[in-house]
Amino acid sequence: MKASDTRKLGRTGLDVTVASYGGGSLGNFFRVLSNADANAILHAAWEGGLRYFDTAPYYGRGKSERRTGAFLSEKPRDQFVLSTKVGRLLDPAGDALEEDGIFLDPSPFNARWDYSYDAVMRSHEASLQRLGLDRVDILYVHDIGARLHGDAAGAQLRTLQNGGLKALEELRASGAIRGYGLGVTEVSVCLDCLDYGDPDAFLLAGRYSLLDRDEAKPLLDACLDRQVALVIGGVFASGILATGAVPDARYDYAPAPPEVLDRVRAMEAVCQRHGISLAAAALQFPLAHPAVASVLIGAGTLRSLEAGIAGIETEIPPAFWDELENAGG
Question: Beta-carbon neighbour count of residue 3 at 10 Å?
Answer: 22
Amino acid (one-letter) located at 323: E
Rounded Cα gap, residues 63 and 23, in angstroms: 10
Reported as half-sphere exposure (CB side, CA atoms, 13 A), residue 185 has a value of 12
**For residue 211, what are the CA distances in angstroms to 100, 208, 301?**
28, 8, 25
Report the relative pairing of strands 201-205 and 179-184 from DSSP bridges: parallel
Q: Which residues does the annotation mark as catalytic? A: 54, 59, 85
Convert 128-158 to b/e letters by CB count within 10 Å (16 or more is b).
bebbebeebbbbbbbbbbeebbeeebeebbe
Report the relative pairing of strands 52-54 and 81-86 from DSSP bridges: parallel
Rounded to 5 degrees, what are φ and ψ at 295?
-120, 130
SS3 category, 268: helix
